[in-house]
Chain A
């Protein structure tokens, strides 16, 4: 564990020294600023048109804004996760950075665990902070609290950890560029699964909904996202509830409590595969 922490500390120092965290913090501040502007404007507009629309506009606006914030937090978290890990094995080996570390009496699995720890320690708190900041802004702008803060935040955190795991696996067999492209395509697949489910629900086509559900479990960050989106707006009723549950980027869905152990087990299997592939790889 001590060796994994040493590797994680090394990776975190790299993120700080290369100003990755600074750039991410600045750009996130810009995003949150724009989000705050949009939130205050949105709720201000609602007050002007109050009574014209026969639904709970405050819940509709708050739920939609937070659903959007959830998607953006996940997207930014995925970007961060990918760029912190996409060259962890093959990329670093091709640049000659990995060999001096691998020949030390540290297992290759430990090296991977260190990279997992470092990326997770950055990405998971990051998505939680962005989401909670968006929730605070939404509350300040429109006095709106979602049905749950914990489930969406935890879902985002576990979701990006699954992406870190799959990016580490990709880095053992793919070049840096190929791995980056592959992970974003996996992310897009999850996004498409969510949209497919929305279409299926809208058109009432069971096959599409089933395909969407299966796909979201195959790439569990999507199922966690849909689950979080559902928890976010579970208490909103009436027409506003229906609209908000559709979500801005993939529909909300109560996928069940099984998603949590599934996502953990899925990540463990992916990491085991990564360790196996890394262990067999000639450097």
Chain B
């Protein structure tokens, strides 16, 4: 099956600065891949190369089998930039209609209404950008990225301006895209969001991929915490499989057990281990 996004040896240099250094990355159809990394790691550069805004210095990227940046590649890509703006004088409907025309979508008013509903902006089509909050504009930006049923969606910090309700809406949109078989590359600093929805996480630092894998594989076990009549006992080396034995021993010892929690590391721990640990 053709990958939604495939990057091989992708490098980008701005003068003496290396933004990306031989990055390999693949997003399969229906896969949600989270892109993590500190500021300046090269995440946005990678996304911009994928959608044709930036030319790579070396390597190649393909979108649904077409060279990234080519017309067929752009026709099958939806993109939300990190720093984007729609004209303040334009109405939401007009913004979507213009992008429909440029994306050659024949969805018309029905598609616009469906997209607005999908991002929680039902009935807001007549509003001008200047009267919309930043969060509403970001939702509209996501709706714009979904015009024409793209096979790859690139989202650069799509929830940075959203309240918890808005983030939940975006999560639902992302899950819906996965069900439709759309590949999604999600660039975000919100690790909790990525942990909740992404199938795979890629962490880059200094322009290189430093680690990748499924969120559950990246998070290390953190031991077991047991609430007893003597207080909370922490057993950092214990694992989930050890819990029945530990509880049996405590009870046999006459200790009353009120609760047991298997502690797992978070994606944040994995991220910090990969990035901070690497940076020293």
B128 nearest in chain A by CB position: A17
Judged by a CB distance under 8 angstroms, whether A18 is at the interface is: yes
**Cβ A6 vs Cβ B48 within 8 A:** no
Per-residue 0/1 for B262-273: is the Cβ within 8 Å of any A Cβ (1 yes, 0 no)?
000000000000
Segment from B32-40, B75-83, B168-176, B224-232 that makes contact with A: B75-83
**In the complex, are the beta carbons of A97 and B71 less than 8 A apart?**
no
Question: Which of B71, B75, B87, B103 is the one whose CB lies under 8 Å from A107?
Answer: B71
**Is the pair A100, B89 in contact by a Cβ cutoff of 8 Å?**
no
Which residues of A sit under 8 angstroms from B84, Cβ to Cβ? 96-97, 99-100
With the chains together, A242 CA to B101 CA distance in Å? 56
Whether, in the assembled complex, B52 has its beta carbon less than 8 Å from a beta carbon of chain A, the answer is yes
**Given A6-B102, A10-B98, A14-B89, does the pair A103, B83 have CB atoms closer than 8 Å?**
no
Shortest distance between the CB of B134 and any CB in chain A (Å): 12
Find residues 8-35 in chain A having any chain B CB closer than 8 Å to their own CB: 10, 13-14, 17-18
Which one of B48, B86, B94, B144 lies within 8 Å of A97 (CB-CB)?
A: B86
Q: Is the pair A95, B85 in contact by a Cβ cutoff of 8 Å?
A: yes
Name the CB-closest residue of B to A5. Answer: B101
Complexed CA–CA distance, A155 and B219 (Å):
71
A3 contacts across to B, CB distance below 8 A: 101-102
Instruction: Count residues of chain B with CB under 8 A from any CB of chain A.
Output: 30
Closest to B89 in A: A17
Least Cβ–Cβ distance between B212 and chain A, in angstroms:
25
B235 at the A/B interface (Cβ < 8 Å)? no
The reply to whether B101 and A6 form a contact with Cβ atoms under 8 Å apart is: yes
Q: With an 8 A cutoff between CB atoms, is B274 at the interface?
A: no
Chain A residues with Cβ under 8 A from B89's Cβ? 13-14, 17-18
Determine how close the nearest CB of chain A comes to the CB of B67; give it in whole angstroms. Answer: 13
- Asked if A103 and B54 make an inter-chain contact with CB atoms under 8 angstroms apart, the answer reads no
Choose among A3, A14, A100, A283 the residue with the greatest number of B CB atoms under 10 Å from its CB.
A100
How far in angstroms is the closest Cβ of chain B from A16? 9
The yes or no answer to A104 lying at the interface (CB within 8 A) is yes
Contact of A103 among B14, B52, B90, B101 (CB under 8 A): B52
User: Of B75, B90, B94, which contacts A105 at CB under 8 A?
Assistant: B75
CB neighbors of B among A235-283 (8 A): 280, 282-283
Do A283 and B48 contact each other (CB < 8 Å), given the known contacts A100-B81, A102-B53, A104-B103?
A: yes
Residues of the B chain whose Cβ atoms lie less than 8 Å from the Cβ of A107? 71
Task: Contacts A95-B85, A96-B85, A105-B71 given; indicate if A282 touches B77 (C-beta within 8 A).
Answer: no
Q: Within 8 Å of chain A (Cβ to Cβ): is B104?
A: yes
Find chain A residues with CB under 8 A from B103 CB.
104-105
**11 contacts across the A-B interface (CB closer than 8 A):** A14-B89, A14-B90, A17-B89, A95-B85, A97-B84, A103-B52, A103-B74, A103-B79, A105-B72, A106-B102, A282-B53
> Which residues of A does B touch, CB under 8 Å?
2-3, 6, 10, 13-14, 17-18, 95-97, 99-107, 280, 282-283
**Considering the complex of A and B, which 6 residue pairs feature the smallest CB-CB distances, nearest first?**
A17-B89, A104-B102, A105-B75, A96-B85, A283-B53, A282-B54
